[in-house]
Amino acid sequence: MSALLEGVYDGEVTVAEILRHGDFGLGTFNHLDGEMVILDGICYRLRADGTASRAAPTDRSPFAAVTRFHSDFEIAIQTRTGRAEVTEAIDRQITSANLIYAIRITGHFAELHTRTVMAQQPPYPPLTQATEEQAEKVFADVAGTVVGFRTPDFEQGISVAGYHLHFLNADRTGGGHILDFTLKRGDVAVSGASQLHLSLPTSGGFLGAQLSGTDIAERINRAEGPKGGSK
């Protein structure tokens, strides 16, 4: 993530290689050309217009997080519940805030507010600038699946600390990076992990990128939130 902040938007890892490491996850594609959702072992590209389609095995990514999903515990949501209340319910049941958790929410949503960054052309701007032109979309009265992770604070910059969530609708034709949602009813499944395998690029812009700094958390929050604002 810290490399994305610096405008490193090209990677050499293909979708086919990513899928060898897991069946569930998220990320982005080269040039920031769409958000990534991996669900049930299939990789989808979510475009800036809100549409989704199956990614090609040869498509490449500068950032992806993937795991093999196994449900450790589940939470049934029976009444209208907002994003903050859902994440608070998860936080009450996890073993430790220092572990990694994959989050899958399947259900019917009253509303989802999403965004998708538009494809960038070199010379690439930093991520906070690229997201100023992000396309935002509201899905109303829609069924689908939220895919994401709850990542410990100490991994900020490797990934996104806290909750990082993407959405794919039930017929897998639309979605985006989640800014907010209201769940009418559904099931939350959580899959814990205590091991992290990190694969770093060995060529390209990553080698010269500035990957540290006291403002990384603030810049990630600006990039991940609405119109460059806080989450």
Are 45 and 59 in contact, with CB atoms under 8 Å apart?
yes
- Nearest C-alpha neighbor of 87 from the set 148, 33, 139, 15: 148
Q: What was the pLDDT predicted at 230?
A: 39
pLDDT at residue 225 above 90? no
CATH match for 1-224 among 3.90.1170.40, 2.40.30.170, 3.90.320.10, 3.30.1330.80: 3.30.1330.80
Q: What was the pLDDT predicted at 165?
A: 98
Q: What is the C-alpha end-to-end distance of the chain, expressed in Å?
A: 16
Calculate mean pLDDT across residues 135-157: 97
pLDDT tens digit sequence for 60-108: 999 999 999 999 999 999 999 999 999 999 999 999 999 999 999 999 9
Q: What was the pLDDT predicted at 228?
A: 40
pLDDT confidence band for 227 (50 / 70 / 90): low
Indicate yes or no: pTM above 0.75.
yes
pLDDT at residue 217 above 70? yes
Are 87 and 163 in contact, with CB atoms under 8 Å apart?
yes
- Output the six-digit token pair for 144: 């689908």
